[in-house]
Copies of this chain bind each other. A is one copy, B any other.
Amino acid sequence: MDLKAYLHEKRLIVEQTLQDLMLTPQGLLAEHIEAMSYSLFAGGKRVRPILCIAAAESLGTDLNGLLPVAASLEFIHTYSLIHDDLPAMDNDELRRCKPTNHIVHGEAAAILAGDGLLTMAFEILSAPQLRPTISAEKQVRLIHILATAAGPQGMVGGQAIDIASEGKEIPFTTLRYLHSCKTGALITAAVQMGAVLGDADAEQYQAFTDYGRNIGLAFQIVDDLLNVESTTEQLGKAAGSDAELDKATYPAFFGVEETKKKALNAVAEAIRALDGFDGKADPLREIANYIYYRKR
Contacts and interface: CB of A to CB of B under 8 A. Distances in A.
Nearest to A112: B160
Contact of A119 (B125, B126, B139, B152): B152
A202 interface: no
B23 A109 contact: no
Contacts of A107: 88
Contacts of A143: 122, 125-126, 140, 143
Contact of A147 (B123, B128, B164): B123
Contact of A152 (B83, B116, B144, B146): B116
A29 B144 contact: no
Interface in A73-103: 79, 83, 86, 88-89
Nearest to A90: B108
A127 interface: yes
Query: Looking at chain A, what size class is its interface with the partner chain?
Result: 35 or more
Interface stretch (A5-13, A30-38, A193-201, A251-259): A30-38
Contact of A159 (B112, B140, B157, B174): B112
A35 B31 CA distance: 30
A240 interface: no
B116 A118 contact: no
Contacts of A291: none
Interface of A: 23, 28-29, 31-33, 35-36, 79, 83, 86, 88-89, 106-109, 111-112, 114-116, 118-120, 122-123, 125-128, 135-137, 139-141, 143-144, 146-148, 150-153, 156-157, 159-161, 163-164, 174, 177-178
